[in-house]
């Protein structure tokens, strides 16, 4: 059972309306943080906010101006959790993905981190305190040729994590990334369907069966990762004990990337 004292702390969780983001918001809220749940889907953000006594905000994190306005309204932020992300469609060979698909995936999975980090940069540096945690992916550590824009965008997000960590380091602000492995969520409900239609080994299966097939064939520990396990790692990075950890890219994946 986690136990951190995050009372007096303000957190922002992007993409907090579903899946991993909802678990992160709920976990930080349970430790006492005031949580702002940002999502492009306001109804979903409201459901999460109701569960963690937080505040729901509609925000498209790929829109730099919208992010700026949104963070100006929020004010103080102690913990910035960049979790919003989208998968790209099947792309094997890589020429299957359109330029628009590459641009959209990069806008949401990479440039959004630049927008949100820029929005908190001045205040966190001035206080010499703050935590930024980016939820990236094991596909940013090992190649996922099934979805090139997604895999490359998550590599870039891991790279951006290191660049931001160096940039913020003198001010005591930490920046780390967590790479989830296989987490059952609305993202996987959609991805499983797509894989069932387009991947040889998965034809005829339903999304949940595709998910289990990937775990059986790729995860050494033979188990899925839960949203709560990703949230627990976020809480650790936000805790006082992690104040000397920065620029790290940590896989929570049952051993996939060993």
Of the candidate spans 53-61, 119-127, 198-206, 234-242, the one that interacts with ligand NAD by CB under 6 A turns out to be 53-61
Q: Which residue has tokens 């595709």?
A: 210
Is residue 26 flagged as an active site residue? no
Alpha carbons 198 and 69: distance in angstroms, whole number:
40
* 146 binds ligand NAD per the rule CB under 6 A: no
* 168 binds ligand NAD per the rule CB under 6 A: no
How long is the chain? 258
Q: Which of residues 234-253 bind ligand NAD (CB under 6 A)?
A: none
Q: Return the SS3 of 71.
A: helix
* 14 binds ligand NAD per the rule CB under 6 A: yes
Token digits of residue 232: 């627990």
Alpha carbons 26 and 51: distance in angstroms, whole number:
7
Question: Which of 21/29 has CB closer to ligand NAD?
Answer: 21
* 60 binds ligand NAD per the rule CB under 6 A: yes
* 188 binds ligand NAD per the rule CB under 6 A: yes
Alpha carbons 237 and 243: distance in angstroms, whole number:
8
* 62 binds ligand NAD per the rule CB under 6 A: yes
* 66 binds ligand NAD per the rule CB under 6 A: no
CB of 6 to ligand NAD, least distance (A): 21
Task: Exactly one of 4, 6, 79, 150 is catalytic; name it.
Answer: 150
Of the candidate spans 1-9, 56-64, 114-122, 158-166, the one that interacts with ligand NAD by CB under 6 A turns out to be 56-64
Q: Which of residues 96-125 bind ligand NAD (CB under 6 A)?
A: 108
Number of helices (H) and strands (E), helices first, in the chain?
9, 7
DSSP characters for 229-258?
HHHHHHHHHHSGGGTT--S-EEEESTTTT-
- Tell me how many degrees the CA angle 5-177-190 measures, rounded to the nearest 5: 105
* 84 binds ligand NAD per the rule CB under 6 A: yes
**99-106 and 148-168 helices cross at what angle (nearest 10)?**
30
The set of catalytic residues is 150
Chain contacts with ligand NAD (rule: CB under 6 A) = 14-15, 17-21, 39-41, 44, 59-62, 83-86, 108, 135, 137, 180, 182-183, 185-188
């Amino acid at each position: 059972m986690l136990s951190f004292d995050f009372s007096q702390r303000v957190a922002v969780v992007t993409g907090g309306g579903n899946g991993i983001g909802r678990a992160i918001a709920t976990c930080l809220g349970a430790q006492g943080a005031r949580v702002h749940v940002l999502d492009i889907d306001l109804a979903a953000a409201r459901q999460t906010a109701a569960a963690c006594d937080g505040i729901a905000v509609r925000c498209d994190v790929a829109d730099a101006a919208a992010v700026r306005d949104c963070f100006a309204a929020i004010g103080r932020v102690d913990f910035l959790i960049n979790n919003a992300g989208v998968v790209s469609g099947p792309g094997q060979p890589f020429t299957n993905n359109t330029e628009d698909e590459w641009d959209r995936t990069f806008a949401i999975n990479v440039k959004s981190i630049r927008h949100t980090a820029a929005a908190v940069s001045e205040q966190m540096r001035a206080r010499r305190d703050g935590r930024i945690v980016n939820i990236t992916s094991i596909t940013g550590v090992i190649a996922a040729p099934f979805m090139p824009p997604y895999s490359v965008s998550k590599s870039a997000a891991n790279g951006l994590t290191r660049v931001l960590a160096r940039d913020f380091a003198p001010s005591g602000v930490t920046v780390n990334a967590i790479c989830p492995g296989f987490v059952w969520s609305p993202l996987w409900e959609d991805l499983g369907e797509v894989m069932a239609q387009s991947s040889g080994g998965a034809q005829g299966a339903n999304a949940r069966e595709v998910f289990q097939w990937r775990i059986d064939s790729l995860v050494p520990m033979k188990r899925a990762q839960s949203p709560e396990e990703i949230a627990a790692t976020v809480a650790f990075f936000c805790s006082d004990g992690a104040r000397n950890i920065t620029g790290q890219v940590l896989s929570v994946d049952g051993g996939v990337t060993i």
